[in-house]
Amino acid sequence: MLETSRLFFRPYQMKDFQFYLSLWQDPEVIRFIGSGKVRSKTDLKLNYPYWLSKSELGKGVLVTVFKATQQPVGHAGLVPQEIDGQLQMELGYWVSRRYWGLGIGTEAARFFRDLAFRELGLHRLVSLIQPENTRSIHVAQKIGMQLQDKTTFRGTPVNLYAIEKADYETLHKY
C-alpha cells in the first residue's frame, strides 16, 4: 500500500474524472502548470484515457486521497520526462486549492522522494517549477531539492530543482 499517516495514493480510475476536471479547471491550481490556462471539459475528456494509462507508479501521477475523508485532494508521483534531451524522473505534486496550507504537497513529495531512493533504486529526482511558483519551490526545498538549472520545458521557462541520492542519504544519516 502506498500511504503516509494521513494520505494514500492510488491510480486514477474512471470515477475520478470529475476530480481531474476540477483540478484542470481551477485557474489557481493550474496557474503554474504548462501554459497556465484552464482546459475545456471536451479536451479533458479526450485526454483522460491517456491520463489513466499513465497513472501508475513510475509512469505518471497517482490520486492523493485524504484518509480521514476518503476524498481525493490532489495527485502526485514520479513521471519520466525528457528534459534538454535527457530522460529524467520528475517528482510532481498538485493539491486541490481547498486543501492548500495543510502540508499535503510536502507530505506527498516526501513520500515519493523516499520511495524513489529507498525502494526504486533511483539516483536522482527533479522537479520542474515555474520561477513564480513559490508554493512548489517551498515544497521542493523542504524535501531537500536545490535549484540546479534554468531551462525551457514545452515552451515554458522553468527552474529545475533536483536532489541526488547521495545528498538524500547524507540528509538521512542522523
Residue 103: give the domain boundaries: 7-171
* Residue 50 CB burial class (10 angstroms; 0-12, 13-18, ≥19): exposed
84 domain-assigned: yes
What percent of the chain has pLDDT above 70?
99
User: What are the pLDDT digits (tens) for 125-142?
Assistant: 999 999 999 999 999 999
Supply the pLDDT for residue 171.
Answer: 79
167 domain-assigned: yes
Number of domains into which the chain is organized = 1
Supply the pLDDT for residue 143.
Answer: 96
133 domain-assigned: yes
Q: Is the dihedral of CA 57, 82, 168, 138 positive or negative?
A: negative
Dist CA 137 CA 151 (whole Å) = 15
36 domain-assigned: yes
CATH number at residue 67: 3.40.630.30
Helix (H, G, I), strand (E, B) or coil at 33: coil
User: What are the pLDDT digits (tens) for 44-75?
Assistant: 999 999 999 999 999 999 999 999 999 999 99
69 domain-assigned: yes
Supply the pLDDT for residue 114.
Answer: 96
pTM recorded for the entire structure:
0.94
Supply the pLDDT for residue 1.
Answer: 83
1 domain-assigned: no
Place of cell 520528475: 90
2 domain-assigned: no
43 domain-assigned: yes
Query: Is the predicted pLDDT of residue 20 greater than 80, yes or no?
Result: yes
Q: What pLDDT band is residue 31 in, cutting at 50, 70 and 90? A: very high
Q: Which long-range contacts (CB under 8 A, 24 or more apart) does 81-87 make?
A: 81/126, 81/128, 81/153, 83/126, 83/128, 83/151, 83/153, 83/160, 84/151
Dist CA 92 CA 12 (whole Å) = 15
User: What are the pLDDT digits (tens) for 146-156?
Assistant: 999 999 999 99
Query: Is the predicted pLDDT of residue 109 greater than 80, yes or no?
Result: yes
Place of cell 529507498: 118
Helix (H, G, I), strand (E, B) or coil at 96: coil
Query: Is the predicted pLDDT of residue 174 greater than 90, yes or no?
Result: no
What percent of the chain has pLDDT above 90?
94
